A and B are shown apart, each in its own frame.
Chain A
Amino acid sequence: MNNLNGFKATFRFDYNVFIAANTTQAHQHLVENPDISIILCDQRMPDKTGVQFFEEIRTEYPDPIRMLITGYTDIESVIDAINRGHIFRYIKKPWTDADIKSAIEEANKFFLTNSMLVIKKQELGKAYEDLDKFAYSVTHDMRGPLLSVQGAIDVARTMTNIDEIKEILEMMDKSVHKLDDFIKNIHEYYNLKRGQLSFTEIDFNRIIKDLEDIFQISGRVNNVRFITNLIQGGGFKSDETSIKIILNNLLSNAFKYQRRSAEDKFVELDIDVNNERALISVADNGIGIHQNYIDNIFVMFFRATSEESGSGFGLYNVKDALIRLGGTIEVASTPNEGTKFIVNIPGK
């Protein structure tokens, strides 16, 4: 017990130390503290040997690095345990503070490398999953519009009526645009996944001006009013590329999914900024999203409607950008009445 208290006193400034006089107490610590990274155990414990204890906990708690403290007399069983992989290393008695310290540093490096490996493996799994989905969608989302155009050319060859030809050209044009949109979305996706965030002062006045230039044209064509409001209550730092991806996608959806027959079509963008956060709301009175599909709208390649062309990429990219910025998004929607997205982005 004196040894234990001495140990804790020596190392409590460098590490968070738990002590246990028997293996039952040690087990209890493991249960209560799932982030324990290193276990040091004396070979001669009152109830069992250190090797036995490590063998027991190994399956249930594989992550902590196990180190045995022992005298020369036990060396045979220790070597065996090390060779069977139960123990990272052993510290021989009597130990010095420096021995323990260097052993802990080594063990901690090993622990961190292992943990990193687990995280990397998960990331890799996710990347493969995305790649699979991606490869599948490429045939549909890239090949689809191309084959449509090919089919249209074939049909147009038999046409003699100029109005009919113009009609089919119009459709081919849309198909080509759809393909182009998809490719642009892929570009955004990779920018988000691989690009570094760069935090600068965001000038929302300029961003809104740019958005008005883009969307007022398409708004005029389809008779959709574009309303913008900005309350700038202080400077706001964030990654401009991500902010633009979020705004562009939400607005282009709002303009796209309008009800053709509606009287007063509008899209309203409200931005309320202070040093702490930016609150962005994008509202429309368009076709809305059915309750059954609303949970899936941020899933890659999910599409909730066959009205208008969509890649199933836009909202996925929005969500991805928000995850990277530590922001949130909420959606409220009623079919045939409209949709409202509320985005909250913390400032840097």
Chain B
Amino acid sequence: MAQKLHFIVIDDSKLDCFIAEKVIRNTGKSESIKSFLLATNALELIKATPAESDSHTIVLVDIQMPIMNGFEFVEAFETLPKEIRDHYTLYIISSSINENDLKRVHTYPSVKKFLNKPLTSNTLSTLLG
């Protein structure tokens, strides 16, 4: 994967966004990083972004958030046209150890993997290969 990646981080905790930004930046593989405290704002951005052929964005989304939670975000994302969806890879990242949450993550075809908080350089490096 020679091309640089874009990142979107969605978490209602400012500190967790900050940590994710630092960890992502430290990999040196990021073209851009955008953080959102509200999933609705991230969704708006994804909808409004034209599908460029060679760009790819990794989305890290928390589960428990006010207004729109992580699952609701994924469900809304999955209703978007395929041309848009193809440019994104979704990961759910959470502090949850609730089995129902974990099971539910696997029911979404667009979610690649469940990641445990906190995000570390090791996890991210493995992920990016």
Q: Which residues of A contact B (CB under 8 A)?
A: 136, 139-140, 143-145, 147-152, 154-155, 158, 168, 171-172, 174-175, 293, 302-307, 309-310
A172-B15, A304-B67, A306-B37 given; A154·B98 CB < 8 A:
no
CB contacts (< 8 Å) of B38 on chain A: these are: 306
Please tell me if the beta carbons of B97 and A175 are within 8 angstroms of each other in the complex.
Answer: no
Question: Chain B residue with minimal CB distance to A303?
Answer: B66
Please tell me if the beta carbons of B26 and A139 are within 8 angstroms of each other in the complex.
Answer: no
A148-B13, A148-B118, A154-B120 given; A306·B96 CB < 8 A:
no
**Once bound together, how far apart are the Cα atoms of A4 and B66, in whole Å?**
65
Q: Is the interface of B mostly helix, strand, loop or mixed?
A: loop
Question: Chain B residue with minimal CB distance to A178?
Answer: B13
Partner of B118, one of A151, A168, A309, A310: A151
Can you list, as one digit per residue, whether each of B2-33 has a CB less than 8 Å from chain A (1) or not (0)?
Answer: 00000000001111101100110010000000
Please tell me if the beta carbons of A147 and B18 are within 8 angstroms of each other in the complex.
Answer: no
A-B residue pairs, 4 tightest by C-beta: A151-B118, A303-B66, A306-B12, A151-B19
**Once bound together, how far apart are the Cα atoms of A172 and B64, in whole Å?**
20
Interface residues of B in 68-127 (CB under 8 A from A): 94-98, 117-120
Please tell me if the beta carbons of B95 and A144 are within 8 angstroms of each other in the complex.
Answer: yes
**Once bound together, how far apart are the Cα atoms of A303 and B38, in whole Å?**
12
Please tell me if the beta carbons of A147 and B117 are within 8 angstroms of each other in the complex.
Answer: yes
Q: Chain A nearest CB: distance from B75 CB in Å?
A: 18
CB contacts (< 8 Å) of A305 on chain B: these are: 66-67
**Once bound together, how far apart are the Cα atoms of A171 and B19, in whole Å?**
10
**New contact pairs (18) apart from A147-B95, A148-B13, A158-B26, CB-CB < 8 Å:** A139-B95, A140-B96, A144-B95, A147-B117, A148-B15, A148-B118, A151-B23, A151-B119, A151-B120, A152-B19, A154-B118, A154-B120, A171-B15, A174-B15, A293-B67, A306-B37, A306-B66, A306-B67
With most chain A CB atoms within 10 A of its CB, the pick from B12, B26, B94, B118 is: B118
CB contacts (< 8 Å) of A306 on chain B: these are: 12, 37-38, 65-67
Please tell me if the beta carbons of B64 and A151 are within 8 angstroms of each other in the complex.
Answer: no
CB contacts (< 8 Å) of A148 on chain B: these are: 13, 15-16, 19, 117-118
CB contacts (< 8 Å) of A136 on chain B: these are: 98
**Once bound together, how far apart are the Cα atoms of A306 and B38, in whole Å?**
7
A306-B38, A306-B66 given; A150·B18 CB < 8 A:
no
**Once bound together, how far apart are the Cα atoms of A158 and B118, in whole Å?**
15
Partner of B97, one of A139, A174, A310: A139
Q: Chain A nearest CB: distance from B21 CB in Å?
A: 9
**Once bound together, how far apart are the Cα atoms of A174 and B63, in whole Å?**
21
List 28 A–B pairs whose Cβ atoms lie within 8 Å, in order of A's numbering. A139-B95, A139-B98, A140-B63, A140-B64, A144-B13, A144-B64, A144-B95, A147-B117, A147-B118, A148-B13, A148-B16, A148-B117, A148-B118, A150-B118, A151-B19, A151-B118, A151-B119, A151-B120, A152-B15, A152-B18, A154-B118, A172-B15, A174-B15, A175-B13, A304-B66, A306-B66, A306-B67, A307-B37
